[in-house]
Amino acid sequence: MYIVFLFLLVKTLFLNIYFPSFYISLLSLPFSTHSQYQLHSTVTSMADLSPRTVLVTGSGGRTGQIVYKKLKERPNLYVTRGLVRTEESKQKIGGANDVFVGDIRDAESITPAFQGIDALIILTSAVPQMKPGFDPTKGGRPEFYFDDGAYPEQVDWIGQKNQIEAAKAAGVKHVVLIGSMGGTNTNHPLNSLGNGNILIWKRKAEQYLADSGLTYTIIRPGGLLDKEGGIRELIVGKDDELLQTETKTIPRADVAEVCIQALNFEVKFKAFDLASKPEGVGTPTKDFKALFSNITARF
């Protein structure tokens, strides 16, 4: 059986490369049904092993940079692209030719980055700026603002909507969107920053993706920490339940790893909150398939 199977495989690859018109009829050759199934499965599996082209938008941001770097470190699995808003951001992450410059608020400007990609990881976000003059020694709270044209409605809603539409047009197979916990509460304090209603607009973009017909995964991390990744136990939840616990933060590096692992394991058409236990508590998460098996919510 092994010799027959090996003969089938070699013959298939030869015909597919040099005589592609014969490939379709190959499985009708007089071999057993079992051998035909083995051949088809093996050829399909070999095709699945080819590196997938993944675009990381917002790859100039603090979390986006980590995702972009992690993907680049796995060239046998991924062909990595980045999308940033400025030439300065491109140089900040190395200035490679695989980094595109475009404005997500301008749908036409981002189209080239989407051509030929298999998966998309959306890490773009509006960023509030602190007003100058705040003195923490005097008490009170700092005030924030958004730059003109960079409000959450324009970045987190219109910008992400443009990316989702570009993904549909390009035939992207999987979209991973990074949102935020807190979206179930319209009165969440983050919505008051700069009068931007940032979580409301993020949630609207998440819903748009879920309704788009695209294969999606929505990840809603808690408060982001600039800490080492890979050394904490990760926790998934839904509907902001984790915000009522002590585990409501997570290192950016861990969020980045979860983004990538979501491409590999069955977590399609799922949405989940993500946090981590404090360092030294619990067992560092290494089995992402097991982690994802706890996810049940579609939105």
3-state secondary structure of 290: helix
Tell me what the pLDDT averaged over the chain comes to.
Answer: 87
User: Which tokens belong to 18?
Assistant: 């040099």
Which residue of the set 59, 125, 180, 276 is catalytic?
180
Q: Give the residue from 173, 63, 48 showing the smallest Cα distance to 114.
A: 173
* pLDDT of amino acid 48: 58
How does pLDDT run across 80-124, given as a tens digit for each residue?
999 999 999 999 999 999 999 999 999 999 999 999 999 999 999
Would residue 180 show up in a list of annotated catalytic residues for this protein? yes
Domains in the chain, ordered, with CATH? Answer: 2-48 (no CATH), 52-292 (3.40.50.720)
The answer on pLDDT for 152 being more than 90 is yes
Percent helix, strand and coil across the chain, each to the nearest 5 = 40, 15, 40
User: What would the 3-class secondary structure string for 166-221 be?
Assistant: HHHHHCCCEEEEECCCCCCCCCCHHHHHHHCCHHHHHHHHHHHHHCCCCCEEEEEE
How does pLDDT run across 222-270, given as a tens digit for each residue?
999 999 999 999 999 999 999 999 999 999 999 999 999 999 999 999 9
The residue with tokens 């509006």 is: 126
The answer on pLDDT for 13 being more than 70 is no
Q: Give the residue from 273, 244, 91 showing the smallest Cα distance to 181.
A: 273
Which region holds residue 95: left if phi is over 0, alpha if psi is between -120 and 50, else beta? Answer: left
What's phi and psi for 3, nearest 5 deg?
A: -65, -40
